[in-house]
Amino acid sequence: MHIADFSIGMLGANGIVGGGFGLAAGAALSAQLRGDERVALCFFGDGAINQGAFHEISNLAAIWRLPLILLCENNQFAMSARVTATVAGGDLANRALAYGFPGENVDGMDVLAVREAVGRAAQRARAGDGPTLIVAECFRFAGHFSADTMAYRTREEADPWLERDPVASFRHTMIEQGVVDEAEADSIERAADAAVREALEFAKQSPFPEPASAWEDVYG
């Protein structure tokens, strides 16, 4: 769940809600000081936008004009409460106004729309214009955890979102635009499914780590 791969610039997730804000700002500052035109992109949910760290980092990033993109995945429910009941002020993107940088809403179910919004924000960041907040409006299909009964929402309100599944929609778009045909799309899906099954089987067959390894890479 909380994975990282420094080789591709993925600094990792953690179990703290909003815990990525400081990490992303640090990475953005590092890029700015090195002048290598890298941009830090921080993903977080609507439940994290009320964390104090969001406001602290937004303020600092604006002052220092850090190359930082704050991308809020507004899936409507955080863990188990509607965003309208937990976030004051209505439009989440307006949070950026207090710090003087752009806030933009985008259809989070549209792969290309999100890509374009992030591209614009990255261009601003590389030009030295500072951070951008992007709020991707989406919907969580499953519960927050395996035992979540989702009593806080109805099946009827989920149905329209399920019909706009971004994976299925993007497949349709690629076929419609002639990027792939049906057979090629099917082949890609089969390959992805096989890769996941292979990884799962590898994990099942792998031995548990030695207890002493729990102390590796731990610093006091």
Instruction: Tell me, yes or no, whether 1 lies in a domain.
Output: no
Instruction: Tell me, yes or no, whether 199 lies in a domain.
Output: no
Q: Are 82 and 74 in contact (CB under 8 A)?
A: no
Instruction: Tell me, yes or no, whether 185 lies in a domain.
Output: no
Instruction: Tell me, yes or no, whether 11 lies in a domain.
Output: yes
Active site residues: 140, 144, 152
Check which CATH number belongs to the domain holding 113 and give it. Answer: 3.40.50.970
At residue 15, the pLDDT reads: 82
Strands 103-107 and 68-74 come out as: unpaired
At residue 211, the pLDDT reads: 94
At residue 220, the pLDDT reads: 67
Q: Are 57 and 21 in contact (CB under 8 A)?
A: yes
Residue 35's domain comprises: 6-141
At residue 13, the pLDDT reads: 83
At residue 183, the pLDDT reads: 97
Can you give the C-alpha Rg of the chain in angstroms? 20
Q: Are 68 and 125 in contact (CB under 8 A)?
A: yes
Domain total in the chain: 1
Tokens of 44: 């977080």
10-residue block means of pLDDT along the chain (220 residues)?
A: 85 88 96 96 95 97 98 93 90 96 97 97 97 97 88 90 94 96 97 97 95 85
At residue 184, the pLDDT reads: 97
Q: Are 180 and 188 in contact (CB under 8 A)?
A: yes
Average pLDDT along the chain: 94
Whether pTM exceeds 0.85: yes
Q: State the virtual CA torsion across 172, 173, 174, 175 in degrees, nearest 10.
A: 50
Q: Please name the residue ranges forming H helices in the chain.
A: 20-34, 52-64, 83-86, 111-126, 155-162, 166-176, 182-205
Instruction: Tell me, yes or no, whether 194 lies in a domain.
Output: no
At residue 188, the pLDDT reads: 96
At residue 207, the pLDDT reads: 95
Tokens of 93: 């993107």
